[in-house]
A and B are shown apart, each in its own frame.
Chain A
Amino acid sequence: MAAVAVAPAASWLFRLRAAGAEGHWRRLCGAGLARGFLHPAATGEDAAQRRQVAHFTFQPDPEPREYGQTQKMNLFQSITSALDNSLAKDPTAVIFGEDVAFGGVFRCTVGLRDKYGKDRVFNTPLCEQGIVGFGIGIAVTGATAIAEIQFADYIFPAFDQIVNEAAKYRYRSGDLFNCGSLTIRSPWGCVGHGALYHSQSPEAFFAHCPGIKVVIPRSPFQAKGLLLSCIEDKNPCIFFEPKILYRAAVEQVPVEPYNIPLSQAEVIQEGSDVTLVAWGTQVHVIREVASMAKEKLGVSCEIIDLRTIIPWDVDTVCKSVIKTGRLLISHEAPLTGGFASEISSTIQEECFLNLEAPISRVCGYDTPFPHIFEPFYIPDKWKCYDALRKMINY
């Protein structure tokens, strides 16, 4: 791991040492393999591999004026702020999960245990099915349960509790019981080096489950408002937090609580030629694709942040596609069975005669999320741009 991130000075030293050792190695092992092993790439110093810069640029939204005083916050701070607001106004609210007591592995719960007490912000044993089951039980009594699953990749042990229990609690009991005051938060999406088990975007698994809501913010301002809405929503919600944005996304966020409605997509840029739909980190990718399209192709893009995956805002997307006639949906999760397929299917049903080109999906490949190959795996701006170009020229 350390070898990959060698700084320029170190590689010079490295070659110096290698030169001295070379004679010794030649004698022992023969030339070919050993030479390759000891020397950095023959093409020189700049061939030394550096880790990639992020595949997107976070674009902050303008400072919101209607919610009072704002403060510069990154994503994890905006989450902390939402949680702080929740625990302040709802005395039944508790936060729990692995490692949340000291502040959480992503710092989302820093300071909350000291402020609200160890009975309200506490660690659980390492057991996702227990965390969600426990959270459901708290919610059944009417108290507010905010559960953290450390990585979305680890939500699967809790799948039964979420899908068979939480989602169905109200329906199966004829509304005698419900766990609406349960919210599950979890870090989500690619992070540059997360590989199979620290990069997943599992929203599609849950999209198939009536009874829960799945929400994914693109920014700190959106995250706080959407998380507060999830916590206050009377249905169990899963809130996925794009982990790559935890520190990278910084903007002005109101200090006081405010709500952003669920199941409402946001048109963040109006346009006339093609509709681009994404959620979470990918919204920033398609924003850049939209400028590239404007600059290189003279194409005007309408950008929609879906925000809630289920129940999703069909009307806003339809309205946009009726206007533009073209739709491109992009997500990191694998193509097959990904949520883009649901959007595509519904839109072609509803807007068939308005479409000028087949709906395009630019997604991750149908593979587990790779480590070293991440730059090739992700649906970056070039892939999205290329798909857009093909759609325009259809």
Chain B
Amino acid sequence: MAVAIGAARVWRQSRILGQAALLLLRRPGAQGLAISHPHRQQEQQFSSLDDKPQFPGASAEFIDKLEFIQPNVISGIPIYRVMDRQGQIINPSEDPHLPKEKVLKFYKSMTLLNTMDRILYESQRQGRISFYMTNYGEEGTHVGSAAALDNTDLVFGQYREAGVLMYRDYPLELFMAQCYGNISDLGKGRQMPVHYGCKERHFVTISSPLATQIPQAVGAAYAAKRANANRVVICYFGEGAASEGDAHAGFNFAATLECPIIFFCRNNGYAISTPTSEQYRGDGIAARGPGYGILSIRVDGNDVFAVYNATKEARRRAVAENQPFLIEAMTYRIGHHSTSDDSSAYRSVDEVNYWDKQDHPISRLRHYLLSRGWWDEEQEKAWRKQSRKKVMEAFEQAERKPKPNPNLLFSDVYQEMPSQLRKQQESLARHLQTYGEHYPLEHFDKPLVGEAKEWLKLSRF
């Protein structure tokens, strides 16, 4: 440290900067500077009689036994659940006692999502849409958590959280519009299917890069805290995305900056073909929380009441105490990763069937509803028919609509269109004038006649 200060004094430029000059060299890190900020340390008496550790970096006692902490992966963090696999409440004091309408909404949201998934997956197979991702097996994680939030709580998702939007009553027409990229798509046809977004329902538009939403969600939570909004931000991601640097960044920032955020990890066993045994070696994602100073819990993601209870409590405390919470919802990805994946290449059909038949969030809730007398076979049959009809209608309508105006290729890059980009837009318009027959213009919304003339009139300088 003294050498560095000496060297710093010799540098003419740095002489006046002094302390700051030490920071001009980034490495080593800032630890060494602790000495120059005595007011930053805890109130400690530097008495020679006192044998307690004085390090600013940790609050701990000394130990004279050499012992490495054993990571506990055989008997990891326990999994909180409310219902057993047959939908029966295990501990009545944990029953959230939700009213019938609310539980029926859970059930209908999950089943409607499931129906929409089947039809849209099929439509990709038939070449009607380019791509799709299903949510099979994870509907409980979406609906249980969404139900525990306020409608204005901001949601940052990854790509397998359509049930959250479904629960918030996002219309089928708009799900389809985005998948078809048709003229009704609020996203203006710019992204691949399932990249939903809805400002009205506080669901931030999905992006493909994984985990990028995590530090963003933290920033949004910080802003909500400053605004005294009494809102929480929830951030969904998979156990695979949790390996990204952005996840580490997000957790650390949330804890140090005291943000009202719920980190919701859907641990569904696979990141495309990569099983969890190749994704991490520790006790899943929940065990990482305490490393950041974050309150954490692991829940049965296929138990919609467990998800609900955990999210509800996390929300209450996150807002009240301005601190992050980490919920790791254990579940299973029953479907393929996407329409570009065939998971039989890396897992057995038996394994998938087990989850589909023996531990499915929808079945477990149905058993609960049946045992409460809130549902029966007749209603089930009627609802299946009705939900399928709704989905098919929306689907057919979406397919008939034209695609958006090709002008929309160029807008929204910036809030205002730069002049160079406008020139490129004009050049496409001219190109289409001559070569339009080679482009699928008949499926697209036509520019207004006046607009086309305007493009041609505008001269280059």
What residues make up the interface of A, taking CB atoms closer than 8 Å to B?
1-2, 5, 51, 92, 94, 99, 102-107, 119-120, 122, 124-127, 129-130, 132-143, 145, 150-151, 154, 157, 160-161, 164-165, 168-178, 180, 191-193, 197-198, 210-211, 213, 234-235, 247, 263, 311, 314-315, 318
**Inter-chain contact A127/B412, CB cutoff 8 Å:** no
- B residues 95-144 touching A (CB-CB < 8 Å): none
Chain B residues with CB under 8 A of A172: 187, 190-191, 195, 205, 207
Top-4 shortest CB links A-B: A137-B219, A133-B215, A130-B249, A173-B205
**Inter-chain contact A176/B187, CB cutoff 8 Å:** yes
What residues make up the interface of B, taking CB atoms closer than 8 Å to A?
6-7, 10-13, 16-17, 20, 23-24, 26, 29-30, 37, 154, 156, 185-191, 195, 197-199, 204-205, 207, 209, 212, 214-224, 226-227, 245-246, 248-250, 252-253, 256-257, 411-416, 418-421, 461
**Inter-chain contact B216/A136, CB cutoff 8 Å:** yes
Can you list 11 residue pairs at the A/B interface with Cβ under 8 Å? A2-B10, A127-B249, A129-B215, A130-B252, A133-B212, A133-B249, A134-B218, A160-B246, A172-B191, A173-B197, A174-B205
**Inter-chain contact B11/A5, CB cutoff 8 Å:** yes
Give A140's nearest chain B residue, CB to CB.
Answer: B220
Give A182's nearest chain B residue, CB to CB.
Answer: B219
A125-B253, A174-B190, A176-B186 known; A160-B199 Cβ under 8 A: no
Chain B residues with CB under 8 A of A132: 215
Chain A residues with CB under 8 A of B37: 102
Query: Closest CB of chain B to A294's CB: distance in Å?
Result: 30
State which of B195, B413, B461 has its C-beta within 8 Å of the C-beta of A211. Answer: B413
Chain B residues with CB under 8 A of A235: 414-415
**Inter-chain contact A171/B7, CB cutoff 8 Å:** no
Give A144's nearest chain B residue, CB to CB.
Answer: B223
CA distance A137 to B155 in the complex (A): 11
Query: Closest CB of chain B to A16's CB: distance in Å?
Result: 20
Chain B residues with CB under 8 A of A139: 219
Query: Closest CB of chain A to B422's CB: distance in Å?
Result: 11
Give B191's nearest chain A residue, CB to CB.
Answer: A172
Give A147's nearest chain B residue, CB to CB.
Answer: B219
Chain A residues with CB under 8 A of B185: 174
CA distance A164 to B211 in the complex (A): 12
CA distance A136 to B416 in the complex (A): 19
State which of B186, B222, B411 has its C-beta within 8 Å of the C-beta of A138. Answer: B222
**Inter-chain contact A2/B6, CB cutoff 8 Å:** yes
**Inter-chain contact A170/B215, CB cutoff 8 Å:** no
**Inter-chain contact A137/B215, CB cutoff 8 Å:** yes
CA distance A174 to B191 in the complex (A): 9
Query: Closest CB of chain B to A33's CB: distance in Å?
Result: 26
CA distance A169 to B416 in the complex (A): 14
**Inter-chain contact A141/B154, CB cutoff 8 Å:** yes
**Inter-chain contact B256/A173, CB cutoff 8 Å:** no
**Inter-chain contact A1/B249, CB cutoff 8 Å:** no
CA distance A358 to B233 in the complex (A): 56
Give B188's nearest chain A residue, CB to CB.
Answer: A174
Give B256's nearest chain A residue, CB to CB.
Answer: A125
Query: Closest CB of chain B to A316's CB: distance in Å?
Result: 11
Give B37's nearest chain A residue, CB to CB.
Answer: A102
A135-B219, A174-B185 known; A129-B190 Cβ under 8 A: no
**Inter-chain contact B221/A137, CB cutoff 8 Å:** yes
Chain A residues with CB under 8 A of B186: 174, 176
Query: Closest CB of chain A to B204's CB: distance in Å?
Result: 6
Chain A residues with CB under 8 A of B209: 160, 164-165
Give A5's nearest chain B residue, CB to CB.
Answer: B10
Chain A residues with CB under 8 A of B29: 126
Query: Closest CB of chain A to B273's CB: distance in Å?
Result: 23
A137-B217, A161-B212, A311-B418 known; A150-B223 Cβ under 8 A: no
Query: Closest CB of chain A to B114's CB: distance in Å?
Result: 26
CA distance A300 to B410 in the complex (A): 41
**Inter-chain contact A134/B216, CB cutoff 8 Å:** yes
Chain B residues with CB under 8 A of A150: 26
**Inter-chain contact A176/B205, CB cutoff 8 Å:** yes
CA distance A5 to B209 in the complex (A): 49
**Inter-chain contact B23/A99, CB cutoff 8 Å:** yes
Chain B residues with CB under 8 A of A161: 212, 215, 246
Give A313's nearest chain B residue, CB to CB.
Answer: B419
A94-B226, A143-B226, A150-B26 known; A134-B215 Cβ under 8 A: yes
Chain B residues with CB under 8 A of A318: 461
Give B22's nearest chain A residue, CB to CB.
Answer: A105
Chain A residues with CB under 8 A of B227: 92, 141, 143
**Inter-chain contact A136/B219, CB cutoff 8 Å:** yes
Chain A residues with CB under 8 A of B10: 1-2, 5
Give A167's nearest chain B residue, CB to CB.
Answer: B413
CA distance A263 to B417 in the complex (A): 12
CA distance A311 to B209 in the complex (A): 25
CA distance A107 to B16 in the complex (A): 11
Give B185's nearest chain A residue, CB to CB.
Answer: A174
**Inter-chain contact A173/B187, CB cutoff 8 Å:** yes
Query: Closest CB of chain B to A87's CB: distance in Å?
Result: 13
**Inter-chain contact B220/A141, CB cutoff 8 Å:** yes
CA distance A164 to B415 in the complex (A): 17
CA distance A315 to B423 in the complex (A): 12
Chain A residues with CB under 8 A of B420: 311, 314
Query: Closest CB of chain B to A262's CB: distance in Å?
Result: 10
**Inter-chain contact B11/A176, CB cutoff 8 Å:** no
Chain A residues with CB under 8 A of B416: 234
Query: Closest CB of chain A to B69's CB: distance in Å?
Result: 23
CA distance A139 to B197 in the complex (A): 17
**Inter-chain contact A140/B216, CB cutoff 8 Å:** yes
New contact pairs (14) apart from A126-B30, A175-B188, CB-CB < 8 Å: A5-B12, A94-B222, A99-B30, A125-B252, A130-B249, A134-B215, A154-B26, A164-B212, A171-B190, A176-B186, A191-B13, A210-B413, A213-B414, A314-B419
Query: Closest CB of chain A to B416's CB: distance in Å?
Result: 8
**Inter-chain contact A176/B197, CB cutoff 8 Å:** yes
CA distance A164 to B216 in the complex (A): 13
Query: Closest CB of chain B to A174's CB: distance in Å?
Result: 4
**Inter-chain contact A137/B220, CB cutoff 8 Å:** yes
Chain B residues with CB under 8 A of A175: 188, 411-412
Chain B residues with CB under 8 A of A140: 204, 216, 219-220
**Inter-chain contact A124/B207, CB cutoff 8 Å:** no
